[in-house]
A and B are shown apart, each in its own frame.
Chain A
Amino acid sequence: MSLKEEVDLLRRIPLFANIEASKLKLLAFTSERVAFEGGQVLFRQGDMGDAAYIIIEGEAEVLVDGPAGPVTVAVLGRDAFVGEIAILCDVPRTATVRARQRLVCLRIAKELFLRLINEFPQMAVAVMRELALRLEASNQKLRAAVAEIEALRRPAQRA
């Protein structure tokens, strides 16, 4: 897999979709390609995040600690973007991610990503726009949900 393919991979990720090609290339070049063995853990719930991963090949499962031990909540495949919150802000991992079989990822280190953002404001704007769109989408969902709850509550009060 060459740099060019990695750039295409990055482009398919919505967070990076609006970033210009040469910057994506730099991000790809400075990022590492990492392979995990089946069963190897990419990161654990509760750890501080230091990188996000884009799956190039293989599958990974997302585990959340439950009262009776970890529970698999999702399985991720090719082109999935895992742990992206970690490269944007300092929060602990909300889940554990483990390779199901041999898994090849592109590892985007937080430090590196933030340095690029610092260096190229247009990249920051692209990321900001994407985040704003997501926020707007979330807001809409929230409004809809609130309206639904209100609608449900009113008849109950009358009764």
Chain B
Amino acid sequence: MKAMSETLKLRWPRWADRNTEASRAGAAPAPGEGDDPGIEPTIYRFIIRHSYKRQLVILALTLGSFPFLYYSLSLPKTIINRAIGGHKFPQQFAFWQLDQIPYLLTLCGLFLVLVFINGAFKFYINLYKGQLGERMLRRLRYELYHRVLRFPVGQFKRVSAAEVIPMITAEVETLGGFIGDAFVQPVFQGGTLLTIIIFMFAQDPVLGAAAVALYPVQGYVIPKLQRRINLLAKQRVRTVRQVADRVGESAAGIIEIRANDGVRLQLAGFAHLLGTIYSIRFDIYNRKFFVKFLNNFIGQLTPFFFYMIGGYLVIRGNLSFGALVAVLAAYKDLASPWKELLDFYQLMQDSHIKYEQVIEQFRPPGLIERTRQLNPPETVPPLTGAIVASNVSFAEDERARVVDAVSFSLAANEHVAIVGPSNSGRYELALLLARLIEPTGGRITIGGADLAGLHDAVVGRRIGYASATPHFFAGSMQDNLYFSLRNRPVVPARYEPLRARTVSKILAEARQAGNIDLDLGADWTDYAAAGVADAAGLAARTVELLRRLDLAEDVYAFGLRGRLDPRQRPEVAERLLEARRALAQRLAADGITHLVEPFAADRYNSNASLAENLLFGTPVGPAFDFDQLASNTYVLRVLDKAGLTEDLVAMGGEVAKTMIELFADLPPEHEFFEQYSFIGAGDLHEFQAILTRAQKSGRDKLKADDRTRLLSLPFKLIAARHRLGLLDAALEARILAARRIFAADLPAAMRSQIEFFDAARYNAAATVQDNVLFGKVAYGEAAAPARIPLAISSVLDALGLRDAITAIGLDFAVGSGGSRLSAAQRQKAALARILLKRPDIVILNEATAALDGQMQAKVMAGIKEECVGRGLIWSLHRASLARHFDRVIVMAEGRIVEQGTFAELDRPGTALNKLLASE
């Protein structure tokens, strides 16, 4: 036993010794530098700090299950020896005297009860362990993610996101399973082992000693081997991270790789990494299985001592034969717990390393204090008073100072331009003033308060910062603009009682894992901060701001292409219907009715596809998707009823024939297929085969599948555009008949899957523009592309709908990273985002660099108007723009070389003058 405990001790003291330290840290976390109170350096400290009570419960449950387990093991013996094989009846059972059969039945019943109890224990313990593991894993991931949010902003220059992501997702995944077993497994298996060893010692001390004789050897050798495995495991983790990094890099640099024929170099680099991983893993396997082999070997070696020493003792009469057999049997039982312990030991080592290696990546220097981000003050006071920088310096990674002992004092509502060459430190100075980086020397105060000591809530709500390359989150334009107003839940959500219970349960569970417990379902938008009363007010304010920033036109265009839910804004839908009527009048007045073919229930629209003509509506969801119509059973039924099926299949045959004739000679990758053909290059020969079959045995003999394929072609046909001459008046009339059948027979269940064209109703599935147009722009009319949008927008303006449509445009999905917006749109939207929250100080870093001169002037004027009475500090990419500011600070090589008004500085010989001259 002593040897055993030594085996484990070799590794365990790490956490055992720090145990007391951990509890101390837990009681009073030391804030500030040095040891971070938030995260424990080893997994066992992490487990003890956050789950020691639950670990004790697991231990207690496990120990509590032992008597039942033991009894259920010994009961079969009683049943066989006494109930089945017994002779003395009646037997005493508790208070009763029982005959053989009732006795047997009673014991068997008891056995059944025990089976149930054991199963229940096992089930409950496993559940409890699983829950604990998941909660701890959740806590760990949450902590790691929060650390990412606390990283100093320069941290992602040093580590790539691609490396960090797998740490939070995959690398810690297995820890959950380990945490549940962290204490109970060694105690349980160790206890079993100990019991057996004690039993052996009781049988015979010498044999007992023989059984454990090799444990010291194992205790010495195995950890040694394991240490080497641990090193390899660390190396493996690092290499796998490089793989993640490499994939991330390749994704980011795909243009450069392709443009420079760099694929082979990338592949070779990747193959090399994989090779490294392979050899590390192979080495690990070798050593891991060698440990197992050694263990097995030693396990087999021990009986050798038993036979030798035990045999000797039996022959000499010092030991009974029965005792030797019992010891040998007990030794067999020793194998299982020993193996379990060894597995556990390896898992523990593995988890230990994983945890340590993840944690070390999340403790960068300069991590922002947790207290600065959580528990914000009740009220956030405005930042008033002079902005004073005294001897502010900033250096990165021990390089030369980028900002070097800068001092100035600005009035609270001054508009200040910072100009200078791009490496003059003005960029960093703006970051310093927005406290996105912290000075390495000197300090910045606002109204006498040290900027460094302010809570994030104060800085984030009272200071607005925008750079030239702002980030946008995947989501709507509105979500991105309102982002600056969503600091906390402002209005709690009102839930149904049932839902309320679920939500409070979800939040309670979040607390159990140390997660933040704020309800995502609440309204987080702080209308008061934007100076408005409600959502409608905020939308109006946003539109106004967008107009000032020259973005309203763009968002209006998004709105035209966007969709409106008429249930949410019935009044807007009503007015759009008015616009629809007004547009028709307007087109008539201008004499350009022929440019639009309106939808009419009793007329075939030759500028719409055959599918649209049949459905006479916009599909909602996939059921009536135009590409799938030919296999929609309801559509087929309608076509049959209208007697159209055969005609359309025949028409499909004609279309296929024409397509084959036109496109068969083109190489399959030719772009014409995509642009013009009804049939993809890959399918062309299949249609050829279908046509051949149809010719040979008749169209009606075709397989259902072939007919479906032919039928799918004419649906795409737009008479005015494709000019194939396949539709005549008679056929059109029959399609109109089918249109009526389609609407009349439509089952109630399908009603929600289509929005019919109805001159008197708003079509929620169509875009705003299509709703106003209510028809199709005619093909081949050279005047249409210019005149129709003009007519639409003048009608909408006349009805005062412009703002409402701009508000609809706020729903525009900006795409991942704002990729669906242009660079100029992103810069303007970022400005709108920070101005919405009405900050006291606006700090801009070349925030309009992507705009052309005319836009620039307009946007700058808009910003300055918005910033009347507020501080505005703008690091400018062009010195000439400084003309419009109260004060100009000129920087060079990290220092302020000049400051004053533009007029004062704009004279021969000044640094500003040189900057102006070089533009």
Contacts and interface: CB of A to CB of B under 8 A. Distances in A.
Which interface class (under 10, 10 to 19, 20 to 34, 35 or more) fits B? Answer: 20 to 34
A22 B666 CA distance: 12
Instruction: Output the residue of B662, B724, B781, B783 with the most chain A CB within 10 A.
Output: B662
B670 A34 contact: no
B725 A4 contact: yes
Nearest to B594: A35
Nearest to A119: B666
Interface in A19-53: 22, 25-26, 29-30, 32-37, 40, 42
Q: Tell me which of B666, B670, B671 has the highest count of chain A C-beta atoms within 10 A of its own C-beta.
A: B666
A2 B666 contact: no
A25 B661 contact: yes
A1 interface: yes
Contacts of B53: none
A3 interface: yes
The size class of the interface chain A forms with chain B is 20 to 34
Nearest to B787: A37
A23 to B, nearest CB: 8
B783 A36 contact: yes
Nearest to A120: B665
A4 B662 CA distance: 13
B661 A33 contact: no
Contact of B725 (A2, A25, A26, A35): A2
Contacts of A115: 671-672
A48 B733 CA distance: 46
Contact of A22 (B662, B667, B723, B725): B662
Contacts of B782: 34-37, 40, 42
A36 B723 CA distance: 18
B724 A2 contact: yes
Nearest to A37: B783
B784 to A, nearest CB: 9
B670 to A, nearest CB: 7
Contact of A1 (B662, B676, B723): B723
Contact of B672 (A22, A30, A40): A30
A156 to B, nearest CB: 53
B781 A22 contact: no
A61 interface: no
Contact of A35 (B658, B663, B667, B780): B780
A3 B676 contact: no
A40 B780 contact: no
A120 B666 CA distance: 9
Nearest to B675: A30
Nearest to B592: A37
B662 A33 contact: no
A4 B661 CA distance: 13
Contact of A26 (B662, B671, B675, B780): B662
Interface in B619-677: 658, 661-663, 665-667, 670-672, 675-676
Interface string B778-816: 011111000000000000000000000000000000000
B781 A35 contact: yes
Nearest to A21: B661
A60 B917 CA distance: 54
Contacts of B780: 32-35, 104
Interface string A119-155: 1100000000000000000000000000000000000
B662 A119 contact: no
Contacts of A104: 780
Given A25-B661, A34-B781, 8 more contacts: A2-B723, A3-B658, A3-B723, A25-B662, A30-B672, A30-B675, A35-B782, A37-B782
28 contacts: A2-B724, A2-B725, A3-B658, A3-B724, A22-B661, A22-B662, A25-B661, A25-B662, A29-B662, A29-B676, A29-B722, A30-B672, A30-B675, A30-B676, A33-B723, A33-B779, A33-B780, A34-B781, A34-B782, A35-B782, A36-B782, A36-B783, A42-B782, A104-B780, A115-B672, A119-B665, A119-B666, A119-B667
Interface of B: 658, 661-663, 665-667, 670-672, 675-676, 722-725, 779-783
By Cβ-Cβ distance, the 8 closest A-B pairs, closest first, are A2-B725, A33-B780, A36-B782, A26-B662, A34-B782, A34-B780, A35-B781, A37-B783
